Every structure is written in structure tokens, then in C-alpha cells.
Structure 1
């Protein structure tokens, strides 16, 4: 069964059940109240009659008194303690009531009887002392035909009202189903169009509301925008990665062809080709490693947290970079301990120092201080610097400030992107400031 039909059946069925229950409750409550009212009235008349029996003079016949109190739609009977009939008075139209079988219970009885002489009756039994001093029972019975007819009419009215009320219930159930399914249907149609056209599309939101259906549609649109942005980044990433790998592969292929053509004749060509192939192979290896690291970031890098001495880490990284570049790295580090991942922090500092040493010819400074109890590591170089308009983009993958300069230094445009990923994993922030021609300063704030 479709969701629309389920909602329609559920809402309509619930309303109909509630309507029937409400109608039955009204009828039962009204009928019980009406029967109780008639029974109380008959009981009061019976008590008044038995009270007057004791005040009768000898000149007044008991049957005359009973006839004065007999209900117009009922009868009065007098029975002894064995429930044998002594006398009875009945209305002309209700001859059968004095012959009817009534309950044989001792003492006072006030009750309603069903299906007596074909109808519902009120029955009151009152014990009294009769003329000769014997205790007898006076039984007053009244048919409730008028009330039964009124209740039958009430049943008919309630039934008609219920049937009429079902019409708007059915209509409202359909409207509710349509209202609930409209954004869902729109969502399904949009998803089908996305599947068929292989394009990203959003659901139109005609008006803003605070209900869950609007929130669902809005969330879907946010998700589509996020997927589209990630898809575009992925396409750009694949394109840039292909471009980066194509260049060293082309160089390697060119030098390999050169060696095949002239390598047997000129040894200097072989040496040049080997050096170029080795350089490009190393570049491809570094690029592949960086790509793998960036791919692992999407799978959530695992942190190995421990308490470390940051001043020792800073000095160790500076010594390694000094050996690799044979350049001076001035260190100014205050003794500081911190809880972090030592390996990833070192990797972050290596990337930033590597960039600083590549794009400057003079010494590089590495300082460790604290601001508001937060450790801050500062890398400063006095190189070419970065234009202001490009400073926000250098942390993007494959972005290059100067293509020719990056190629000359062997850069792939992934180093700073990887540094940004590492900083995010370490819950650190990077603050970059640079002036073209004067140098660049990068702060790692833990």
C-alpha cells in the first residue's frame, strides 16, 4: 500500500472510530439519564401512594386510591408475601401489565426491566401494612414506550449526523495525505530528475515554515549543495592530480626515448637522462605520498596523544631541516609541555619550514611562545612573500602562487593543503601574514 493510502486510511479510520465512539457515548449517557429520571419519578409516586394508604378512612376503598395513582401507561399490583396477586389496577390500555411476570424479591425494589410485555418498564416495589395488619407489597409498573420511541429517534438522528460527518472526515483525510506527501513527492521527483539527468537539483521552497516537512526539504537542499561542492572539488582534485602526474611522466618518457636514440653514442646524454628521471621519479613519489595522506584525512586520521616537550620538538625539527638544506634555522623556544600527537605535529612543522626554506635565500626563524596559555609556534622567512589577494587560497589543494616558481622548486601545491589538514586534526589554527618582497610569517596556535 502506498504511503498516501496508508495516511488516508489511518487518519480517516481514526476519525471514524472516534466519531462512532463519541456518538455511542452520547446515546448511552442520554439513555441512562432518561431512564433513571423516569424511574425516580415513578419511585416518588409510589412513596406518595403508600403514604396515603395509611391515612385512608374506612369509607374510602383502597382500589379507588390505587386507581388515583395508577400511571396512565402502567399498572399497580398488590401481592402478599408469597407474591400471590391480591388486587390490581391498570390503565385501560395496559391490561397485560398486571399479568406480566415481575421479579419476586422481598423488600423495597427500584429497577428498570427490559422486555416486559414487549417493552421497557420502570418497576417499583414498596412494602406496606395492609388493612388487616398484614405486610404486603405494592408494585407499581409503567411502560416507557414514549421514552423508547424518543431514544429510537435519537439513534436515527445520531446515525444520520455520523454519516454526514464522515463526508468531511474523508475529505480532510485526503487533504492531510496530500499535504504531508506534497514535499515528499517533490523530493522523489527531484531525486528521479537527478538520477536521469545526472545533475544536481534542489527542491523549490515556495514559502518558509517551521514544520518538519519544510525542514526536510531544506536539509535535502543543503545536502545537495554540499554534494555538488564536494563533487566539483573532487573533479578539480582529479584533474589537478592528473595534470601533476602527467608532467613527470612526460619528462621520464622523453628522456627514456632520448636514451634509446642516442644513449649508446653519448654517455653524457645517459647521465643527464638518469638524473632527470631520478628527479622526476622522486617528485612523483612525494606527490603520491601527499595524495595518500590527504586521502587518509577523509577517513579520519587516528591520533596518538601523549604529553610532549614542545621546545624539544621544535629544536629537533630545526636540526633536521638544517642538515637537509644546509641552511640556518634560528630557534627561540621556551620550555613548554603539551598534550598532542608528536608525529603529526612534527610533520606539520616540516611542511611549513620546508616552504619557508624553499622560497627564501636567507635564514629562517622558528620560535615557541604562548598566548593566553595556548602554545604558539612561529615560522618566519624573509623571502619573496605572497600577494594579499592570494593568501586565502594557498591552503587549497594544487593552488600555486606562481606556476613557474613552483615548478622550479619542485612543489606540487599539496604541501600547505596537507598542513591545513594536519592543523585541523590537531585542533590547531594557522595564522598567515605575508608582505611581497619582505617575507612570510606563519603561526601555529595550539
Structure 2
């Protein structure tokens, strides 16, 4: 069953049940109230009769005495302690009441009785009768007027129920359409996207501000994000293919050269092996960087610990100097401890140091101040128009596209992703021809502990 039909059916049934329950409650409540009112009216009439017939004169017969107090549609009679009747008066329409068994009551009793097809309000009350004896006065009044009122009320409630249910059912259908139409539109758009391969968006009503409009807006945002990701993925695949194509072509060319002339020319053999080895190393580095960038945030396996920045930077600088035989000048102006992943932070620092080594022949400076680590070089710098793009994958500034640098345009993108994973901000400041400064912004461990304490409280 479609959602629209489910909403229509469920809402209609619910409204019908509510209307029936409410009207039924009204009907029974009215019946109880009218019953109590009739009994109270009959009891009042019984007290009036008690006052008039109490301790009657011997000369007046009981039947004649009660005739003056007989109800318009009912009966009144005196019942003696031995359950015999001493006088009765009934209206012409209530002759059958005379045949009812007489029951002596010592206290006031109220009830509603059904005699044949009619209902009667019955009240019995003790009364002082002849010779001071206590008899029971019984009065019964027909509830025909009350039954007529309840009958009319029943018809009115049934009519109002039907009149209320019809617009309720229609409104439920409209409600189902209002709720399901945007969903149906979204489904249709998704189906069209699947068939055409195009990223379409749902048309939104700017006047609406409800959950359905928010859902449509979220869907459109998702489509826009998917479109951007698809474009990036397509560019990523094209660039990766391009980067792998060159070293594979070099390897293939030198392999063919070795197969034709390698045995006869030792110098050519050494050159080919060196070139193949160099390209193999480049492909290995590229593959490793691509695999690292393909990870999701949850697969970074972050292991945070307290890291003293000054000693950390000095150790990293010493390791880098030994590996590349490049002088790194370390200057520490602040001593802080941060809560981060030591290995991931070292990886970011090595990426910036390696870029400084590639694009600068002068001394590299490592500066620690406040909560920042700065990697400063005096190299070729980056044009201002390229600063916003340097963190994009495979993006390389034209002046840096020389293959002797060994770069793929993935290092800075990797540093950015790692920084996001460990909660560290990275950015680049540069002036063309004057050098570049890579800035790693860290969070002080005291700030981290304060944040954790607030969350604990």
C-alpha cells in the first residue's frame, strides 16, 4: 500500500473512531443526566404527595385521596407493611402498572423500570398512614418525554457524525497527498537521476517552512555534494592515471631498450636499471599516498597522547637532517604540551619539511611560538593566485612541475586530511620569489582538559 493511501486510511479510521467515541460518550452522559433529573423530579413529587396524604381522615377512602395526586402518565399507590395495597390511582395509559407486585420499602428508593415498551421513574418513600402506621408511598412516572429527547439526540449525533466524517475523510486524503507528493517527487527525481546519470534537484516552495521542505532542501544539498564529489573523483582518477602513465611509459621504454641492447652495452644497462628503479620508487610513493588519501576518517586509527612540542620538533628536525643532509634551524619561543597523535603530527611536519627541501636550496627554519609550529623556507614561493588551490589533490604550481622534485601534488592534500583527523589546522602563507611559511596550529592541552571537564560536568 502506498504511503498516501496509508495516511488516508489511518487518518480516516482514527477520526471516525474519535467521532464515534465522542458522540457515544455525549449520548450516554446525556442519558445519565436526564435519568437523574427525572428521578429527582419524581422524588420531589413524592415528597409533595407525602405532605398531602400523611395521616388521612378515616372518612376519606384511600383511592379517592390518591386520585388527586395521580401523575398524568403513571401511578401512585400506598403499600402497607404486609405488602398489601391500600389505595391506588393510575392514569389511563398506565393501567398495567396496577398488576405489578407491591413491595414494601422502609426507606426512600429510586430506580428506573421498564414495563413493556415504556420506561418509568419509580420512587418509594415511607409515609405516616392511618392509625399512625408507617406505609410505603410508591409513585411511578412515564419517561416518554425523556426517551423522545434521547431519540432525537441519537438522530442528531448520528447525523453530525456522518457530516463530520465526510470532510474528515476528504481532509485525510488531502493531507496524504500533501505529505506524499514531495516524497513522490523526490523518488521520481532519484529514478530519473539513476536512468540519466544527471544530478537533478527538487523544485522547492519558498513559502513553505516545514519538515518536508527541509527534507527537499537536504536532498538538494546532497545532490550538489554528490555532484561535486563526482567531479572531484573524476578529476582524481584522470590525474592519477596521468601520473601513473608517465612512469609506466618510462619503465616500458627502458625495458624494451634493455631487451634490444642491454646485453651489448653495459653503460646502457646501468642507465636503464637506474631509471626503472627511480620510476618504480615514484610509483610506490604515489600508490602509498593515494591509498592514504582514500581512507575514511574512522580508518586513521588516531591515538592521542600528551606531546611536548619543543622536544618533538627538535627530534623531528634531527631525523630530517640525517635523512636528507639538510640543515634545519630550530627556534623555540614557547613551551607547550598538546594532546594529539604524535605519529600523525610528525607526518604533517615531514610533508612541510620535504616541500621546503624540494623548493628551496637555502636553510630551513622551524619556529615554535605560542601554539603554532612554523616551517619557513626562502625558496621560489607560490603565486597568490595558486594559494587557494594548493591543498587540492594533484594540484601543482607550474613552476614546481619539474619532475626532479618528485612531487605528485598529493602531499599538501594529505597534510590537510591528517590535520582534520587529529584536530589540527594547517595553512600556507607565501610570497612568490621570497619563500613559503607552513603553519601548523595546535590545541594546548590545558584547553583540551578544560573542554573535557566541561563535558564531564
Q: TM-score range by the shorter chain?
A: over 0.9
Write the distance in 1 (CA, Å) between the matches of 2:71 and 2:411. 109
Residue 25 (str. 1) matches residue 25 (str. 2): yes
**Structure-2 residue corresponding to 1:282:** 281
Write the distance in 1 (CA, Å) between the matches of 2:314 and 2:424. 20
Write the distance in 2 (CA, Å) between the matches of 1:391 and 1:91. 110
1:297 deviates by: 4.6
Which moves more between the two structures, 92-101 or 407-416? 92-101
Judged with a 3 Å threshold, the aligned counterparts in structure 2 of structure 1 residues 84 and 393 are, in CA distance, closer, same or farther, namely: same
Match 2:398 to one of 399, 402, 422: 402
Deviation track 1:203-255 (CA, whole Å, cap 9, x = no partner) reads 21122433222222222222222222222212211111111111100011111
Residue 9 (str. 1) matches residue 9 (str. 2): yes
Write the distance in 1 (CA, Å) between the matches of 2:224 and 2:390. 24
**Structure-2 residue corresponding to 1:64:** 64
Within 5 Å, give how 1:13-412 maps onto structure 2. Answer: 13-54=13-54, 60-101=60-101, 105-113=105-113, 115-334=114-333, 335-370=335-370, 374=371, 376-402=372-398, 405-412=401-408
Check the 8 A contact 1:76/1:98 in 2, yes or no: no
Write the distance in 2 (CA, Å) between the matches of 1:117 and 1:132. 37
Check the 8 A contact 1:77/1:85 in 2, yes or no: yes
Write the distance in 2 (CA, Å) between the matches of 1:256 and 1:72. 127
Judged with a 3 Å threshold, the aligned counterparts in structure 2 of structure 1 residues 82 and 367 are, in CA distance, closer, same or farther, namely: same
Secondary structure of 1:383's match? coil
Write the distance in 2 (CA, Å) between the matches of 1:203 and 1:101. 82
Judged with a 3 Å threshold, the aligned counterparts in structure 2 of structure 1 residues 317 and 177 are, in CA distance, closer, same or farther, namely: same
Write the distance in 2 (CA, Å) between the matches of 1:102 and 1:118. 20
Write the distance in 2 (CA, Å) between the matches of 1:354 and 1:173. 67
Which moves more between the two structures, 87-96 or 103-112? 103-112
Check the 8 A contact 2:56/2:129 in 1, yes or no: no
1:386 deviates by: 0.3
**Structure-1 residue corresponding to 2:452:** none
Deviation track 1:81-116 (CA, whole Å, cap 9, x = no partner) reads 122222211112322122224655432222221x21
CA RMSD of aligned residues (A): 2.0
Which moves more between the two structures, 120-129 or 330-339? 330-339
1:128 deviates by: 1.6
Judged with a 3 Å threshold, the aligned counterparts in structure 2 of structure 1 residues 196 and 75 are, in CA distance, closer, same or farther, namely: same
Judged with a 3 Å threshold, the aligned counterparts in structure 2 of structure 1 residues 102 and 285 are, in CA distance, closer, same or farther, namely: farther
Judged with a 3 Å threshold, the aligned counterparts in structure 2 of structure 1 residues 82 and 377 are, in CA distance, closer, same or farther, namely: same
**Structure-1 residue corresponding to 2:430:** 434
1:30 deviates by: 1.6
Which moves more between the two structures, 414-423 or 259-268? 259-268
1:420 deviates by: 1.2
1:60 deviates by: 4.9
Write the distance in 1 (CA, Å) between the matches of 2:286 and 2:155. 87
Check the 8 A contact 2:79/2:102 in 1, yes or no: no
Check the 8 A contact 2:306/2:338 in 1, yes or no: yes
Write the distance in 1 (CA, Å) between the matches of 2:283 and 2:103. 109
Write the distance in 2 (CA, Å) between the matches of 1:133 and 1:299. 102
Check the 8 A contact 1:45/1:69 in 2, yes or no: no
Which moves more between the two structures, 310-319 or 59-68? 59-68
Secondary structure of 1:21's match? helix
**Structure-1 residue corresponding to 2:447:** none
Q: Which sections of structure 1, spanning at least 5 residues, go unmatched?
A: none
**Structure-2 residue corresponding to 1:419:** 415
Judged with a 3 Å threshold, the aligned counterparts in structure 2 of structure 1 residues 403 and 284 are, in CA distance, closer, same or farther, namely: farther
Judged with a 3 Å threshold, the aligned counterparts in structure 2 of structure 1 residues 422 and 118 are, in CA distance, closer, same or farther, namely: closer
Write the distance in 2 (CA, Å) between the matches of 1:103 and 1:172. 59
Q: Which sections of structure 2, spanning at least 5 residues, go unmatched?
A: 443-457
1:316 deviates by: 2.6
Count matched residues: 441
Deviation track 1:110-132 (CA, whole Å, cap 9, x = no partner) reads 2221x214310011112222223
Write the distance in 2 (CA, Å) between the matches of 1:104 and 1:271. 134
Check the 8 A contact 1:237/1:397 in 2, yes or no: yes
Write the distance in 1 (CA, Å) between the matches of 2:315 and 2:133. 125
